[in-house]
Amino acid sequence: MKELGNYFKEKKKDFPVFKKHPDLVYLDSAATTQKPVPVIDAISNFYRESNANVHRSVYKLAETATAGYENARSKTAAFIGVAPEEVVFTRGTTESINALAYSLLLFENYKSIIVPIFEHHSNFVPWQQLAKKQNIDFLPLPVTNGCLDLNTIEEFIIRTKKPFIFSMTGITNTTGYRTPFEDVSKMVHNAGGIFILDGAQLIPHEPFDFKASGADFVAFSAHKLLGPMGIGVLAGKRKLFDCLQPFMYGGEMIEKVMETDTSFAPLPYFMEAGTPDVAGAIGLGAAIDYIMETGMEKINNHISLLTEYASEKLKAVSGIRLFGPENRHGIIGFVHESIHSHDMAELLSRFKNIAIRSGHHCAQLQMKEFGIGSMSRVSLYMYNTKDDIDKLIEGIDEVKRWFK
């Protein structure tokens, strides 16, 4: 892999937050990424120049707004390799998964759901709670050191009641474990199940092709992908979407309303009740343009090299323990033997303006599996540099001196 440090140092200049805070070491991109100028401009320009509601009016401004919104949908579709109508805009990954869970479990006849315990709460709790309400079997899949074992998955799939749902992440948000979702989706399909991929951490990090992934549905958020907060995607196979019933009703998703019944608009509109976040969608479109122009392979390589560099440096610090597998991508979870993760994060921020995350990372069951209550997490994106990692290591040394 070629080092692209200088290329990305130049790219960092596109992110105004680093002009405002020149000494900021931002290592929390798994929570949300910073935004480049073209994304900020696209959102601002929508409100300045073409603000109108979409899919309602015939006047010119509304036409421009609608075209902008649908153009963002086409870009998103091309980015992940689906047809435009297979892209449903939501509020984010959480809403995508909840919408899907309701649509699948309230209206379809599934008998069981398998979800690994390392999932973010947003891909665990909706399934757990709806399964409980609908009296469907819920099977939390155990993991070992934050990793999956394909034999265990096979056993779970064999004994689960059919038809079933399997929902899983592409990259875990606690340890950066890149899951073998291509293999798992095959196993699920061989047994007649449907496979849902939580792409929140995956989509920002590697070139993604929906068909090659084997997923039936994929969910992700714009704000972890250089885009704005409040907009996300649920994409899936058209033939599966067509079997779904909407669970949210309102404007934009209607075909015909009669006194005692209603028929619904075609895909994707029947899944998008109410006025959508048009500026958000346009911002997501701009983020995708920016990423494509930068090069997803380049971003992936840069982050892989940085992750390796950071892992080696962190491992060399006495008292630090890293979690999860060695092939982590973009995310490193760790603890210090005697310094609590909140103290670590607080002091790194106060001493050196380093932003890392601490806590359970919305994955309490994964913390339990590791035998800890909380961890520190470093997460990387395209604007990070080796300097950031060196400053982190200096910062940790300073925190250790404080706690001596």
Catalytic residues: 362
DSSP, collapsed to helix, strand or coil, labels residue 163 as coil
State both tokens at 152: 């265990």
* Among 206, 157, 161, 201, CA closest to 183: 157
Residues 376-395 that bind other proteins (CB under 8 A): none
Residue 180 interacting with other proteins (CB under 8 A): no
* Rounded least distance, CB 362 to other proteins, Å: 10
Question: Could you tell me if 201 and 170 are in contact, meaning their C-beta atoms sit under 8 angstroms apart?
Answer: yes
Residues 125-164 that bind other proteins (CB under 8 A): none
When binding is defined by CB under 8 A, the residue of 347, 378, 380, 396 that contacts other proteins is 347
When binding is defined by CB under 8 A, the residue of 297, 346, 387, 397 that contacts other proteins is 346
- The smaller minimum CB distance to other proteins, of residues 172 and 341, is found at 341
- Tell whether omega for the bond before 266 is within 30 degrees of 0, i.e. cis: no
DSSP 354: E
Residues 182-201 that bind other proteins (CB under 8 A): none
Binding segment (CB under 8 A) for other proteins, from list 94-102, 198-206, 257-265, 347-355: 347-355
* Rounded least distance, CB 374 to other proteins, Å: 4
- Tell whether omega for the bond before 163 is within 30 degrees of 0, i.e. cis: yes
Residue 397 interacting with other proteins (CB under 8 A): no
Strand partners for 354: 25
Binding segment (CB under 8 A) for other proteins, from list 161-169, 200-208, 209-217, 335-343: 335-343
Residue 402 interacting with other proteins (CB under 8 A): yes
> How far is it, in rounded angstroms, from Cα 108 to Cα 103?
8
When binding is defined by CB under 8 A, the residue of 313, 321, 340, 386 that contacts other proteins is 340
Q: Residue 43 — φ and ψ, nearest 5°?
A: -70, -50
* Rounded least distance, CB 375 to other proteins, Å: 9
State both tokens at 58: 């015939």
* Rounded least distance, CB 363 to other proteins, Å: 11
Residue corresponding to tokens 């869970």? 101
- The smaller minimum CB distance to other proteins, of residues 275 and 338, is found at 338
- The smaller minimum CB distance to other proteins, of residues 252 and 398, is found at 398
DSSP, collapsed to helix, strand or coil, labels residue 38 as helix
- The smaller minimum CB distance to other proteins, of residues 124 and 217, is found at 124
- The smaller minimum CB distance to other proteins, of residues 285 and 324, is found at 324
- How many residues does this entry show for the chain? 404
Residue 316, number of CB atoms within 10 A of its CB: 9
- The smaller minimum CB distance to other proteins, of residues 13 and 342, is found at 342
Distance between alpha carbon 58 and the CA centroid of its chain, in Å? 36
Sign of CA dihedral 127, 249, 227, 285: positive
Residues 355-374 that bind other proteins (CB under 8 A): 359-360, 364, 367, 372-374
293 CB-near residues (< 8 Å, 6+ apart): none
* Rounded least distance, CB 148 to other proteins, Å: 24
Task: Give me the residues that bind other proteins (CB under 8 A), please.
Answer: 340-343, 346-347, 350-351, 359-360, 364, 367, 372-374, 402-403
